[in-house]
Amino acid sequence: MTSETEAEAGAEAEAKWLATQRPSRFREVQAGSLGWTEVDLIDVEHEFTRPLRDGLEVFGVRVNYLRVGQPRHLVAALDGSRPIAPYVIVSCHGDEGRILMAELAEELAGFQPFNGAVGPDRVREHFRLPGSVVLVTGCDTGDPALADAFLDAGASAYIAPHGAPFGYASVFAPLFFFYELTERRTPEEAVERLRAHDGELAMWRFYQR
């Protein structure tokens, strides 16, 4: 038997063995893939982003960690000038239907595309998210007006809390969501299961057109 034939036989045997395991997207990683999907994880000055990254990688997700310090960094990450991952998580604080960003000093603000919080108008003006599923962790970012803006910017679905869940829910919710995706459920099914978990997670909303 040639080495090529041996390799083919080995791959076939592994595929048969993996087929006997419980269904999971993680089987793709076990079979040699570097990840079953990819996430752009946008860190907008949020203390829980790095633990979230570690958790996602446990599920076999390739994570592009992008730290945002200025509005132009956020625009560079999400304006479509670079390939956008199938999933985008904006790890942030929020209020009144806006993604919060610190106001910059006047000498820095003049070089930015905007200064301060990101509401619907700024999303429409600056973001291009062709087909990506977008999940935002900040309080009140599940406001319908902000969701509509992300969908107008090209997102295929938008997921965020309509309300103010307690702090560590913003870590658990995306991890729960990706656990469900890893278990081969659709984004909509994953959010339904998330919302059924308890009252805090029931604040999360799924928007799609």
From residue 106, how far is each of 44, 82, 99, 103, 131 by CA, in Å? Answer: 20, 29, 20, 9, 36
Residue 80 covered by a domain: yes
CATH number of the CATH domain containing 183: 3.40.50.1460
The domain total for the chain is 1
pLDDT digits (tens, 9 = 90+) for 93-126: 999 999 999 888 888 888 899 999 999 999 999 9
pLDDT digits (tens, 9 = 90+) for 150-198: 999 999 999 999 999 988 898 999 999 999 999 999 999 999 999 999 9
Residue 8 covered by a domain: no
Closest CA to 207 of 180, 179, 189, 188: 188
Closest CA to 177 of 166, 186, 168: 186
Residue 16 covered by a domain: no
CB 188 within 8 A of CB 162: no
Domain boundaries, position 76: 25-207
Residue 62 covered by a domain: yes
Is residue 157 within a helix (H) or strand (E), and if so which, with residue range? strand 157-161
Residue 94 covered by a domain: yes
Structure confidence at residue 75 (pLDDT)? 97
Residue 173 covered by a domain: yes
Whether the predicted pLDDT of 1 surpasses 60: no
Residue 95 covered by a domain: yes
Confidence of residue 8 (pLDDT cuts 50, 70, 90): low
Stated pTM of the model? 0.91
CB 61 within 8 A of CB 35: yes
Residue 9 covered by a domain: no
How many whole angstroms separate alpha carbon 152 and alpha carbon 68?
Answer: 23
pLDDT digits (tens, 9 = 90+) for 142-155: 999 999 999 999 99
